[in-house]
Every structure is written in structure tokens, then in C-alpha cells.
Amino acid sequence: MLDRVRFRRALPVLLPSVALGVMLIAIFSIQPSAMSYFGFTLLFKMAPPLILAALAQMLIILQGEIDLSNGAFVGLVTCIAAIFLKDDVALAFVILLAVMAAYVALGWLIHFRQLPSIIVSLGASFIWLGTAILFLPAPGGEIPDWLRTATAWKPPLLPLPIWIALIIAIVAHLVLMRSSFGVMLRAAGGNPRAVQKAGWSIAWLRVVVYGAAAVLLVLAGLMLAGLITSGDPNVAPSYTLLGIGAVILGGGAFIGGQVSPVGTVIGALTLSLAGSFLSFLQVPATWQIGAQGVILFLVLAGRVLVDDRRRA
Amino acid sequence: MMLRRIPPWTYGFWAAALMLGVIGLQSGLGSIGPTLTVALAFGAISVLVGTGQMFVIASGPGNLDLSVPSVLTLAAYVSMTVMDRTGGVISAGIAAALAVGAVAGCLNYAAIRFLRLPPIIATLAWSFIFQSFAFNLGGQATLKPPQALSDFTNWRLGWVQVMPLTIMTLSVVAALALAFTVWGRNLLATGQNERAAHFAGVRVGPVRLVAYVICGMTAAMAGVVLSGFTGGAALNMGNTYLMESIAIVALGGTSVAGGQANAIGIWGAALFFNLMGTMLNIFQADAGLRFVLMGILIVLIVAIVPRPEAR
């Protein structure tokens, strides 16, 4: 018998993991050669940027807010990387810091004026997209070789995307679920008033959260730029919604204070594998996006079923 | 504190008037008429989509319909196909589009209700599925509207454009429905406090279902009108309407937290959006700058609107 409390805690991780497992088994039964170092590298090639963007979204959702500008920001970072990184690393760094500061400032504005984050981040998404187009009107630019080789690196034992997923999941779990600062962050999302009464500055916590999200998004953008070897303002709009999907798949809720870092990472892996999975099943291209919607429903429907049983 | 005396939902109208003035100064008074004509037509289509979104947003915090662009596109394809097969029977095409919209609304609500999903996720997942259907139905080709539909969407009586006028009438109907019908009052009550509304005898579920169905139907209708006005249904025709529908509803004075809606204010915000695009075109601002300005304005307007005291 499973311990009830343990089971409840494991639940957010369990469902997307099952979905991930089912898809992998299906892929391997069709194409056994995919079960290799090379196969995994290929299947999860585009996963790391999505994982990072999903974690950034998770931090925002943890605060009871939402960020619709997530994908546009990643696109902006790829453009900055494609234009400045090769010739002048310091300049690229300064520009990245400036856009991160702008991102944090908007987060602070949302808190300070108690604005609806949906609308502000919607406006922000136009600002990031526009800035990216000003930098780079059409996809292109040049990515320095070191970034390209870094994203194509073949580490020992496990493929790079798997290493990245593992490390990110462990670090995020330790920081958010095990450290006292993580407890504070979760409390600030669940019950800001209580945290304030306990003597913490919510504004300061928010700045830290938005800052951390900005760092994750910059990393996602750099990694994506390395993978696609160019900059593109419109490369990642889907990251916004897929990121939100990953957070919810991983057991998060929009009420604030309730997210799971490990669940989010697995959710992001699931969503990015869904694409390869459907190609493997030879689902026609025109139905693939629809099938992705169906997968999203199936996994989330599983949550309702388990939920019901628990209550009964 | 002048700002406090001007109701926030009228900001869109003032801003639109300002844009129109700037355009007049820059390219001569004669250009104001044609500019306004175009802005009214495209604004009307945005308003159509926005009005449905407004009902959904007003129905409670977290309620949002992300399937709007895909429903718009799918309905446009279905209705163009029906009109083509029936040899140009417009009523059949419109009926088909409305049916698509109504079914989409029901499916959205069913996923929210029975799978207990957050509306953002439920409507997102459906939008993927609707998009696939549109893709299979029309593919990359542009489906041409019958001549009669194009004629109707461009129809003028003297200097009055019939299509925007019809949609203005719909806005007034929506405003009256919110203020005076039982459903409208129930919707706002649900949006303010779901539990309180439930205990007061409001059947929260059906009330919300109707909001989603209306949203689907207005998006579908916008698909038909847009195809008629721009010469066909294309795969990416709905894309801009996702963000735009949310932005104009919020700028038009509807609370994103739900429970409070303004159907007329949407017009101001929609005209402002369209005229700003035109103005930046006249000044030959490039696309990037246009997006940046639009984003800054959205943030600014939301930030300076005086907020009611916390309940």
C-alpha cells in the first residue's frame, strides 16, 4: 500500500511521467533503434529551451500571476545573440542585462500597481517582439561557434538534453521545495498577506522571482539560438502556451503557491516529445497539432480520474 | 486629477480621436473620411470577436477563450465551403458558421466543467484541434467568398457602411443584455463571486456555458465577415485576433477579474488600435517600432487607469 501523503505528493509527477513512458514505449516498439544515445539526443533535441521557459513560467504562476510574453522574450534573446554575441560578448551581455531589467521592472509594476498580469504581459509581448524585429527584421544573424558546439556537445553516459533536464529538475526542486527561501517563495504565492505580516517584503520577493525568470528565459533563448543557429523574432511564440501547458501538466494550479518543479520539467519533456511521437506514428502533418491537443486532454483527464478516486 | 473625472472606458475613444486628428494634420483633412471608413470596418470585426471574449472574461477570474482565432478560421472555411457547394446561398453558410461556433463553445465549456481544467488550458487544447480541422478542410489555399457576401460586407447606403452599423447595433444589444436581462445580471453576479451567486440561486454552469457559446458564435461570425471583406478565408486569418480581442476588452473597461463588463468601450479600444496602425503607417514607422509602441501603450493605459477601491 502506498502511503497516502506520499502518493498525493508524487501525483503531479506521476501522470506526465506515465504519458512520457507510454509515448517512449510506442516509439521504441516502432523504431527500436531510437533506444540509443543518438536516438534520445534526436527525440529530445528541442526540449531544453522549452524546459527552461516552462520553469520561468512556473515561477510566475507560483506567484499567482501569468506571463504571456514568455515566448516573445525568448525570441528577443535569440535575436540579440545572433547579432551581438559573435563580435562583442560584453556588448551582448550589457544588452541582455538591459532587457532583463526591463522584464523585472514590468514584474515590479504589476505588483506595485496591482495590475492584471494577463494584460501587462500581453503588452510586454508586443514590446519584446517589436524590439526583436528592430534588431533583426528577418530571421538570420550569426551565432558564435562556441555556442553552437556547446548545444551540440555529446557528454558521457547520457545525452545532453537528458543531463540538462535532470540537473535543472534537481536544482529547481532543491531550491523551491527544500530550501527555506523556496518555502518563502511558495508562501508568497499562496498567501502574500501572511508573508508580509511575518516581516518579509513581497515586493522584494517578486523582484527576485521575476529576475530568476528572466535569467531562465535568457538561458532558454541562448540555447535555442545555438540549436537553430540563427536569431528569429518569431521563433518561440508557442513557448508561452506550451510552457503554461507544461506547468499545469506537472500539477501546477493558477491559484498561486502550488507548483511542482519536477512535474514541470517532465511536463515540458512530454510536450516536446509529443511532436516526435506523432511523426513516428506517421500521423499526417495536418493532424499533428490537433493530436497534440488530444494528448494534452488525455493526460489532464487522467488527473481528474485519479483525483476522484482519492476523494472517494 | 482630471483623469478621475473621465470614465476610464472612454479612454479608447479619446485616444482614437487624437490619432484621427494627427492623421488629419499629417495628410490633410480630406484623408480623415477614408481613414475612418477603413478603421470602422476592421474595427467592427475586432469588436465582434471582442464582444464574445468580453462575456467570457466577465464570467469570472481566469475565464478566457484562447480558441477564438482557430474557431474564426475554421468557421470561415466551413462557411466558404458551404456557400461554394450550395452555389452561393449566404444564409446556409452563415448558419453553418454559427453552428461551428456554438459547438466550439460547448466543447470549450465541457472541457472546463468535466475535466476541471483551467479555461486557458482547455480552450488552448481545443484550439489545437480546431486548427487541425481547418488545416484539413482548406489547407494552404484561400477559399474565395461568393460575390454576394463581398458585396454585403462592403455595402453602403449613402455614406453609411452597413456592416459596421450592424455590428454597432449588436454592441448595443450586448450592452442592454448585460444591464437588463436575467442572464446578463446572472453572468455579472457569477463573475463577481461564484459561490455567492450559486447560493443566491443562480445556475452558474448554464450561465457560463452560454457565455462560451456566444463567444464561439461571435468568433465564427467574424470569420465569415472577414472572409467577405478581405476576399477569402486563409489559414492565418485569425492569428492577430487572439491578443487583440483580450487587449481591446480590457482597455474598453471590462475587468479582467470578472464581474464587470462594458460592451460599448470595446469600440473605442478597437478604433484606437486600428487608427494607431494607420497613423504609424503614415509616418512610415517600421513594423518593429509599431509593435513596441503598441505594447507600451497597452501597459501605460492599464497602469494609469484609476482603479476602484479594493472590495
pLDDT digits (tens, 9 = 90+) for B257-304: 888 899 999 999 999 988 988 888 888 888 889 889 888 988 887 887
Mean pLDDT of the region B120-137: 90
Contacts for A5 with CB less than 8 Å, ≥ 6 apart? none
Among the listed residues B211, B169, B276, B270, the one whose alpha carbon sits nearest the alpha carbon of residue B63:
B211
Q: Which B residues, 271 through 310, put their C-beta within 8 Å of a C-beta on chain A? A: 286-299, 302-303, 307
**Over 50: is that where the pLDDT of A280 sits?**
yes
- Decide if A289 and B131 are in contact by the 8 Å CB cutoff: yes
- Residues in chain A within 8 Å Cβ distance of B133: 290
Question: Are residues B253 and B247 in contact, defined by beta-carbon separation less than 8 angstroms?
Answer: no
For B196-244, the pLDDT digits (tens) are 999 999 999 999 999 999 999 999 999 999 999 988 888 888 888 988 8
The residues, any chain, with a CB within 8 Å of residue A127's CB and separated by 6 or more, are A69, A102, B291, B292, B295, B296, B299
Q: What is the DSSP letter of A174?
A: I
For the segment B144-172, the average pLDDT, to the nearest whole number, is: 88
Cβ atoms of A149 and A219 within 8 Å: the answer is no
Which of B129, B239, B248, B273 should be substituted to probe chain A, the one whose Cβ sees the most A Cβ atoms within 10 Å?
A: B129
Q: What is the DSSP code (8-state) at residue B67? A: T
Q: What is the pLDDT of residues A205-222, one digit of tens each?
A: 999 999 999 999 999 999
Is the Cβ pair A287, B132 closer than 8 Å? Answer: yes
To the nearest whole angstrom, how far is the Cα of B13 from the nearest Cα of chain A? 19
CA-nearest residue of chain A to B297? A123
Q: Which residues sit opposite B157 in a β-bridge? A: B160
Which cell numbers hold the place of B13?
475613444
The nearest alpha carbon in chain B to A76 belongs to B288
Say which of A115, A118, A307 has its CB closest to residue B303: A115
CA A224/CA A51 separation, integer angstroms: 11
Q: Which of residues 60-79 of B touch A (CB under 8 A)?
A: 62, 64, 66
Least confident of A47-51, A223-227, B241-245: B241-245
Which residues, other chains included, contact A254 with Cβ-Cβ below 8 Å and sequence gap of 6+? A61, A64, A66, B62, B118, B120
Beta-strand pair B160-161/B156-157: antiparallel
pLDDT band at A310 (very low <50, low <70, confident <90, very high): very low
B115 and chain A: CB distance < 8 Å anywhere? yes
Q: Is A182 exposed, middle or buried (0-12, 13-18, 19+ CB in 10 A)?
A: middle
What residues of A are in contact with residue B299 (Cβ under 8 Å)? 106, 109, 120, 123-124, 127
Interchain pair B139, A109: CB under 8 A? no
Cell, residue A241: 502556451
Rounded to two decimals, the pTM is 0.87
User: CA B24, CA B32: separation in Å to the nearest integer?
Assistant: 6
CB pairs under 8 A between A and B: 140
Q: Do B288 and A132 touch (CB under 8 A)?
A: yes
Q: Side chain identity at B227, as an amino acid letter?
A: S
pLDDT beyond 80 at A30: yes
Q: How far apart are CA B145 and CA B227, in angstroms?
A: 6
Mean residue pLDDT of chain A comes to 88
Of chain B, the percentage scoring pLDDT greater than 70 comes to 95
- DSSP symbols for B188-257: HHHHH-HHHHHHTT--HHHHHHHHHHHHHHHHHHHHHHHHHHHTSB-TTTTTTHHHHHHHHHHHTT--TT
pLDDT at B1 exceeding the cut of 70: no
pLDDT at B226: 94
3-state secondary structure of B264: coil
Nearest CB to A244: which of B120, B287, B298? B120
* Contacting residues of B for A113, CB less than 8 Å apart: 303, 307
The angle that helices B204-230 and B32-58 make with each other, rounded to 10 degrees, is: 160
Among A44-48, A78-82, A215-219, B177-181, where is mean pLDDT lowest? A44-48
Whether the Cβ atoms of residue B227 and residue B131 lie closer than 8 Å to each other: no
pLDDT at position A308 over 70? no
pLDDT digits (tens, 9 = 90+) for B132-151: 999 888 766 778 888 888 88
What's the gap in Å between the CA of A157 and the closest CA on chain B? 36
Q: How confident is the model at residue B309 (pLDDT cuts 50, 70, 90)?
A: very low
- In this prediction, residues A112-127 reach a mean pLDDT of 88
pLDDT range class, residue B4, cuts 50, 70, 90: low
B124 touches chain A (CB under 8 A): yes
Chain B nearest-CA distance from A34, in A, is 27
Q: Minimal Cα distance from B306: which residue of A?
A: A113
**What is the C-alpha to C-alpha distance for residues A292 and A51, in angstroms, rounded to an integer?**
17
Flag whether pLDDT at A309 surpasses 60. Answer: no
- For the cut 90, the answer to whether the pLDDT of residue A114 exceeds it is no
- The Cα of B278 is separated from the nearest Cα of chain A by a number of Å equal to 17
Q: Taking CB atoms and an 8 Å limit, are B289 and A134 in contact across chains?
A: yes
How far apart (Å, rounded) are the C-alpha atoms in residues B52 and A272?
32
**The pLDDT of residue A287 is above 80:** yes
CB contact under 8 A, B125 and A307: no
Contacts of A241 in chain B (CB under 8 A): 66, 124
- Cα dihedral value A64, A70, A71, A74, nearest 10: -150
Among candidate residues B22, B16, B68, the one with its CA nearest the CA of residue B46: B68
Question: What letter would DSSP give residue B161?
Answer: E
Kindly report the number of other CB atoms within 10 A of residue B3's CB atom. Answer: 10
Report residue A188's pLDDT band, with 50, 70 and 90 as the boundaries: confident
Q: How far is A232 from chain B (nearest CA, A)?
A: 13
Cβ-Cβ contacts under 8 Å, A243 against chain B: none
SS3 of residue A282 by DSSP: coil
pLDDT at B310 over 50: no
CB contact under 8 A, B257 and A116: yes
- Write the residue in B120, B130, B292 that is nearest to A127 by C-beta: B292
Question: Inter-chain contact B299–A125, Cβ cutoff 8 Å?
Answer: no
CA distance A103 to B190: 34
Mutation choice for B interface testing from A66, A103, A122, A298 by most B CBs within 10 A: A122
Distance CA(A151)–CA(A225), nearest Å, equals 9
Cβ neighbors of B296 (< 8 A, separation 6 or more) are A123, A127
pLDDT of residue A174: 94
Other CB atoms closer than 10 Å to residue A53's CB: what's the count? 31
Q: How far apart are CA A109 and CA A101, in angstroms?
A: 12
Q: Which residue of A119, A289, A296 is in closest CB contact with B250?
A: A119
* Per-residue confidence (pLDDT) for residue A49, from 0 to 100: 95
Nearest C-alpha of chain B: how many angstroms from A301?
Answer: 6
